[in-house]
Chain A
């Protein structure tokens, strides 16, 4: 069946360093890839998304890259801050199905 692998499961970085989280999807029909940040005690919050007709998208300190051939996409956070500490989930979806396949999550800890 369809699945999304996400690595690493945990990631610790020093404040100011960059963090990279990678996801690989199996369904070649997937064409929409959102990223969510979930802080402790809260619901997932959309932070950035990318569609398959684009290779990269940036929003301030956050960027996402997509390699359709290899079927993987990555989240890049630059100049990390302690408030970036959270669990990050990637997801893959196919237009018209309304169904997200989520990755297993990455717990990011930014050390001050």
Chain B
């Protein structure tokens, strides 16, 4: 498995502002992912964070709204830009270690946009 931490754990933000969420893993991992979980809903993949190259975004998510960085094999950030109340969600990072299929999730960042 993997030990994953996210910062901040929760935040309340004003509309129009941006928030950067950090994800740190205790060991090097091949793949890192960012998910959104809207209140009472399932998990939706936002993008795959690629080390040394641009993230790969899923349909419905764009880089201008959710810029992602992955400077090394243990760390990634997701920025939620120009926030609106519809962005209120739990944002989760997950990792997949080399040679495996299993994803392990961080504790999540609970975001409320007013």
Residues of A within 8 A of B (CB): 32, 34, 36, 41-46, 49, 89, 93, 95, 98-100, 102-105
Interface residues of B in 15-52 (CB under 8 A from A): 31, 33, 41-45, 48
- Complex contacts, A34 vs chain B, CB 8 Å: 102-103
Interface of B, secondary structure class, is strand
Residues of B within 8 A of A (CB): 1, 4, 31, 33, 41-45, 48, 92, 96, 101-108, 110
Nearest opposing residue in chain B for A4, CB measure? B42
Contact of B107 among A32, A43, A89 (CB under 8 A): A43
In contact, B96 and A98 (Cβ under 8 angstroms): yes
In contact, B101 and A93 (Cβ under 8 angstroms): yes
- Complex contacts, A103 vs chain B, CB 8 Å: 42
Assembled-state Cα–Cα distance A98/B108 (Å):
20
Q: Say whether, besides A46-B102, A95-B101, A100 and B45 are in contact (CB < 8 Å).
A: yes
